[in-house]
Chain A
């Protein structure tokens, strides 16, 4: 299949806003899907939420120690940027406005922080936020966003 041949290392991308709304879900390769999209997205958001809370709690140097699970202000405490399993790598970035980008890739991918920053700044902001037809806070499937994103991830081999 063409899609697999051209982007063999990308799996999928999630974009959430601070309210937990999944604004966008993009799949390049995901042979195994066991959950409904809603369940899947909720689980992903929950995973990030808990991980952020745990990583901040375990911070040996940072000063900010709320109770585990206590609400955090965005940008408060430390933040993780990726984890790797034997079958995939999850890379994460969050903007101070609470936009969360999660990129799932092949586990052999290197550091994707710059790539996430690029997707946020040059693709999400330019083609979604600045699209007059987009309503902030709503899920989107903009064609220009999709096309530009597909083009960009091809450079991430």
Chain B
């Protein structure tokens, strides 16, 4: 493991340790907005950084099963779709075991596969992933704003609508960043897929 990988691994472990501290957990789960826009993305980021700790031998063994990063992307997408369900968010707040499952699976089954797969993805796979991510932000943002009922029983309607606005903004910012990079930036483009 080189110095950069060590730093990334250390950063991932420190961030994860901070995220599971009770006061931090309480703050991040106090609102739907914080949970969706801060808690989950930070846990994903921890897993992503943790990819640096995976030994090269393991990476090589996994690579044969992860052509173009598609398998990792699929695993991350399926796991993410579970934690996008309002019922799952409710359960994580109500039941410590479900919350523990979330703290394990979000970094290890979303962040880590993405961290391992991203360098293996070609332009098209990354493009599909990012386009779908932006579209999902816009769809959920719109949905949370128009829903007349609370989708999570633990959170209030105004919180849900605030999250909707936040997702629309997040989608917009991500879109503008990618558009600017494509237009004027220097975008790496691999030959494969």
A and B bound? Answer: no
Give residues in A with beta carbon < 8 Å to B: none
